[in-house]
Amino acid sequence: MKTIIAACSQNLSGSRASVQTALRTLLAVPWPSQRDVRSCLQLLSVLQWVLSFLLLGIISLLLLIYLVFTSFWPISALYLAWIIFDWDTPERGGRRLPCLRRWPVWKHFRDYFPVKLVKTHELSPSHNYIIGSHPHGILCVGAFCNFITGSTGFGELFPGIRPFLTTLAGNFRLPVFREYLMSGGLCPVTRRAIGYLLSKNGTGNAVAIVIGGAAESLSCRPGVTTLILKNRKGFVRMALQHGANLVPSFSFGENDLFRQVVFEEGSWMRSVQQRFQKMMGFAPCVFYGRGLTSVRSRGFLPYARPITTV
């Protein structure tokens, strides 16, 4: 009996020692620090934004086409009917959702670069404004972060002002993507859409237009700022017609987010880019950024460079 009790006691002490050893080993494993967690969240927030802008519209279109040939075809039919019914909404101020501007993910998006908004003048809610945003860069990160999200404090700096950002009208023809754009306060860069916001939507509207557009993105590279402005006076005429004030806006650091292969003026590749831009409205830029796993790898994510919008 004494032998059995001694054997059991030895096993129990051995088990306790094993558990203690396992706990010490587990606690010795380095846990992610708060800084690592923040960096991961910032990277994921930028990833979802890039994927949304580059792939959401195309994937949604292909998915709806695929559903036509399945038993789920009523989904495609109903959404097509909805788009026909809702066709003119983007040009009538859109359908912005304040909750999307307050989405917590945008704070991580802001801190990734980081993006900062600097106020230099008061904007009265009793007037409407056209904000000339420069430069275009590759993906207009500064303009999006400041005018579409509330993460940089636009609403607090300019109380009573509703910011809108214009983009290519063709983007509002893509299913699901159009809803995503309108919910944030984006509208087509057309005379009709801008005219509606400046004359039929009350006062306190600030319509941001990236003046250089797709043509300016072709000259985007770090350390160099090339603006296309001299022959683009349409936004000035719109301001005169509707009594809107002009507000210049410049995002310092916008051109440092990506590396681009810039083809010289007169080269055949530059000619192809310009022709494509005239036909489709956007320019096929050859660019790269950082990868998902490492800053040293190449990918499609922007580099973490500070952007200051004044």
Band of pLDDT at residue 17, cut at 50, 70 and 90: low
The closest of 110, 52, 118, 135 to 304, measured between CA atoms, is 110
Cβ within 8 Å of residue 91, ≥6 positions away: 187, 188, 190, 192, 193, 196
> Per the domain annotation, does 6 fall within a domain?
no
pLDDT of residue 4: 43
Q: Which domain holds residue 109?
A: 35-309
pLDDT digits (tens, 9 = 90+) for 162-179: 999 999 998 999 999 999
> Is residue 111 one of the residues assigned to a domain?
yes
Residues pairing with 207 in the sheet: 130, 164
Distance (Å, whole) CA 151 – CA 106: 6
* CA nearest to 49, candidates 120, 148, 128: 148
- Residue 114: asked if its preceding bond is cis (omega within 30°), the reply is yes
Q: Which tens digit of pLDDT belongs to each residue from 257-289?
A: 998 877 677 777 777 767 776 766 666 777 889
What is the number of structural domains in the chain? 1
The four Cα atoms 3, 4, 10, 11 give a dihedral, to 10 degrees, of 160
- Per-residue pLDDT of 69-81, as tens digits, reads 999 999 999 999 9
pTM value?
Answer: 0.83
pLDDT in tens, 200-255: 889 999 999 999 888 888 888 888 888 988 888 999 999 999 999 999 999 999 99
Per the domain annotation, does 200 fall within a domain? yes
| Band (24; pLDDT cuts 50, 70, 90) | low
